[in-house]
Structure 1
Amino acid sequence: MMRIPEKIRLKNLELLITEAGSAAKLAERVGTNSSYISQVRRQMRTKKGTPRGIGDDLAEKLERGMNKQEGWMDTLHRDESHIAGTEVNAHLGPDIRNLCPVISWVQAGEWMEIAEGYQPQYGQELLPCPVSCSNDSYVLRVRGISMEPKFHDGDLIFVDPHADPVHGKYVVVMIEDTAEATFKQLIVEEGHQYLKALNPEWPNRIIEVNQNARICGVVVFKGEMV
């Protein structure tokens, strides 16, 4: 299976080809062999049976030749799906424009303050969300048993901070005077908001929240529609 960093490099290669005008023109500008770029794009196999990829040397050469900053090839560029009016489609499986970073529960509480201009770092875990979500969406790993039996410890949940938090949705919430966000079901009744733990054995399953809580996002996917 192709790793996410390799997908990012291949996607960015397609962006550079579009920017240069063609694969041949790109190869000429960066001083590399156009036939190798073609082999990389077609994922031709080496003698060892592995797909040809974009190694560090080629990545650096592409960055220098196209006047990109160091590390550009390893960064997800969500706003560059169109260059000069041409749609780029690298046919790499799930659309990587929907890749979401896996972040911590502490980061989730302040995500909207740091999301603008955020660029995933090389090696950071990124996961493709198969449903429609905003570019500011993120992924959390469920901790604990408060949301069993629907959500288990270690489950991955995709969270969209721009989705509408309506009654019955599962939300990530930052409560005042706490260090990190929490995850519960939102209950709205008669103008009041409550957070509900799904686990029937959980103490204080339902708590009322008012101005002391801030919703940080709505869960949109967890391997199934939620």
Structure 2
Amino acid sequence: MTDRTSTLTLSDRIQTARKYANLTQKQLADRVGISQTAVHKLECGRSRSSRRTVAIALTCGVDPIWLDTGRGEMSLGGPPGSGPGVSGVSESAEGYRVPVIARIPLITWEEAKSYSPETAESHHPENVKAWIPVAPRTSAKAYALEVPDDSMEPEFTEGELIIVDPTMKAEHNRYLIARTSEDNRATLKQLIVHGNRQYMKPLNSRYPLIEVQGQLIVSGVVVAKYKDY
């Protein structure tokens, strides 16, 4: 779809995006995690900015850059209804089916042990701690985790949110969520492959390099970090 709305204000674009997704102000507010009053203020121009514009854009299935600046095309593109964590679709004015929500579940490290390309099909815990908005480039099986400690500093700091895709191939130098058949604890480490040996490497030099003994059981590959302000 070609963008014809670059002259719209932010309030106009948010209202356009919400209607494009066929959402009420209350529905948009609930899915983004803000109040309906906040959405109303954004749409009527009483609030001129929001730290939730990316979440609003992805929830409505529009491009975050277009929503924030008016540049480019409104539609995210890609196959109709594509994107991770799509929990509903709606008909646009042109008859296309578009994502209503592009989001993944924030899970616990205990739950991460059960994730794999084979078992992660539509595997969302009943009591999800939070939903993390993401650009729709990961698979529908992706999930998020909180970094549990400082073993991967400076690349990953404790408490940061990482985006993990269990369908990606575990390869040399990639960051993995994995455990071994000798140790049932899931961990975040960098995979190092040297000949026929595998190592799980922490980036913080205070932690030891771990040689993989037995089978390496991979729950996913880290594909991105998420940071909200």
Q: What TM-score comes out, normalization by structure 1 length? A: 0.57
8 Å Cα contact 2:182/2:213 also seen in 1:
no
Distance 1:124 1:210, change over 3 A: same
Q: Secondary structure at the match of 1:157?
A: strand
8 Å Cα contact 2:86/2:99 also seen in 1:
no
In 2, Cα distance between the equivalents of 1:172 and 1:192? Answer: 18
In 1, Cα distance between the equivalents of 2:193 and 2:132? Answer: 31
8 Å Cα contact 2:106/2:143 also seen in 1:
yes
Greater than 4 Å deviation, 4+ residue runs? 39-43, 119-123
The equivalent of 2:96 in structure 1 is 86
Query: Which of 108, 119, 128 lines up with 2:133 in the alignment?
Result: 128
Distance 1:136 1:192, change over 3 A: same
In 1, Cα distance between the equivalents of 2:28 and 2:172? Answer: 47
Q: Secondary structure at the match of 2:145?
A: strand
Q: Deviations over 1:25-82 (max 9, x none)?
A: xxxxxxxxxxxx6x76899xxxx95446xxxxxxxxxxxxxxxxxxxxxxx9737547
The equivalent of 1:104 in structure 2 is 108
In 2, Cα distance between the equivalents of 1:41 and 1:137? Answer: 24
Q: Secondary structure at the match of 1:107?
A: helix
Q: Matches of residues 15-26 of structure 1 in structure 2 within 5 Å?
A: none
Q: Matches of residues 13-52 of structure 1 in structure 2 within 5 Å?
A: 14=22, 49-51=37-39
Report the AA paired with residue 78 of structure 1: V
Q: What TM-score comes out, normalization by structure 2 length? A: 0.56
How many aligned residue pairs are there? 157
Q: CA deviation at 1:120?
A: 5.9
Pairing 1:200–2:208 present: no
Question: Please, what is the CA RMSD of the aligned residues?
Answer: 3.6
In 1, Cα distance between the equivalents of 2:127 and 2:148? Answer: 25
Report the AA paired with residue 102 of structure 1: L
Q: Deviations over 1:102-149 (max 9, x none)?
A: 111111111237532334657640101236111111111111111112
Q: Which moved more, 1:139-148 or 1:125-134?
A: 125-134
Report the AA paired with residue 96 of structure 2: T
The equivalent of 1:184 in structure 2 is 189
In 2, Cα distance between the equivalents of 1:150 and 1:42? Answer: 33
Where structure 1 has 5 or more consecutive residues not aligned to the other structure, the ranges are: 1-9, 16-36, 53-75, 91-95
The equivalent of 1:220 in structure 2 is 223
In 1, Cα distance between the equivalents of 2:105 and 2:99? Answer: 21
